[in-house]
Amino acid sequence: MAEFVYPPVVLAAKTMFRVLDNRLRVTGIENIPATGGAVIACNHVSYLDFLFCGLGAQPAKRLVRFMAKQEIFHNRIAGPLMRGMHHIPVDRAAGKASYDEAVARLRAGEIVGVFPEATISRSFTVKEIKSGAVRMAAEAGVPVVPMALWGTQRLWTKGRPRTLTKRHVPILIRAGEPLRPTPTDDTETLTKDLRTRMSTLLDQVQADYPETPSGEEDRWWLPARLGGTAPTPEEAAELDARPPRDDRA
């Protein structure tokens, strides 16, 4: 398919992050296939994760088609960009059509990006994940590449103000060894394995992160297990269970 929108968007994002000196470090590129279909399953700590997950595949010269909620495609600004980049809208009330579209894209040799936690993790740990990534990979006969991002939550995350122009924020992106599910594998077991791999990658990028909070008030972006003030997984689950509201401002 023609790519008139995606390359300029990638270039604009790279330029913006270069100007802001948001230091991106991508590792594990050898795990992203240079050709053929694959699912990238990424953790989710920020509203900007799709940008950085996509940039994580750039060294392999791959474009990632993300599965994203249908409402984004209806936005007057984001909608034309999402459609122009050939991302996949997801109607959560009727998800089979988007699932089938993702499988067709994978069989056609594309990379499909998913956030199997479904929503942003307030605890900055990997929540329980859905099985869709494993199931679509098995059906299409392609690998699942686990990926972890860290640092993106400092720019824009749930319950915090946007700081999109914040300078000198390191962003770490790491791709892990692929899983290769088959239709005969146990989906529940493989989904647990995928979550373990994502958690391990996240632990690694958190350990490698070159900065620490500048003071007590800055500890919000660290998980509780690392001495931060982010909610524990249990506290985050309670927050997620409350009635939804728009807290992105």
Q: What is the pTM of this model?
A: 0.95
| Predicted pLDDT of residue 245 | 64
Rounded CA gap, 101 and 116, in Å? 17
pLDDT, tens digit, for every residue of 136-192? 999 999 999 999 999 999 999 999 999 999 999 999 999 999 999 999 999 999 999
> Is 147 within the bounds of a domain?
yes
Q: How many CB atoms lie within 10 A of CB 193?
A: 17
Query: For the chain, what percent of residues have pLDDT higher than 70?
Result: 98
> Is 240 within the bounds of a domain?
no
> Is 200 within the bounds of a domain?
yes
| Dihedral pair phi/psi, residue 234, rounded to 5° | -70, -45
> Is 14 within the bounds of a domain?
no
Contact 177, 117 (CB under 8 A): no
> Is 235 within the bounds of a domain?
no
Question: In the chain, how many domains are there?
Answer: 1
Rounded CA gap, 120 and 36, in Å? 29
> Is 132 within the bounds of a domain?
yes
> Is 63 within the bounds of a domain?
yes
pLDDT, tens digit, for every residue of 39-79? 999 999 999 999 999 999 999 999 999 999 999 999 999 99
Angle at which helix 96-107 crosses helix 132-140, to 10 degrees, equals: 40
> Is 234 within the bounds of a domain?
no
Place of tokens 């991302």: 87
* Residue 109 Ramachandran class (φ > 0 left, ψ -120 to 50 alpha, else beta): left
Rounded CA gap, 138 and 183, in Å? 5
Contact 174, 52 (CB under 8 A): no
Q: Is the pLDDT of residue 82 over 90?
A: yes
- Residue 132's domain spans which residues? 31-211
Q: Is the pLDDT of residue 204 over 50?
A: yes
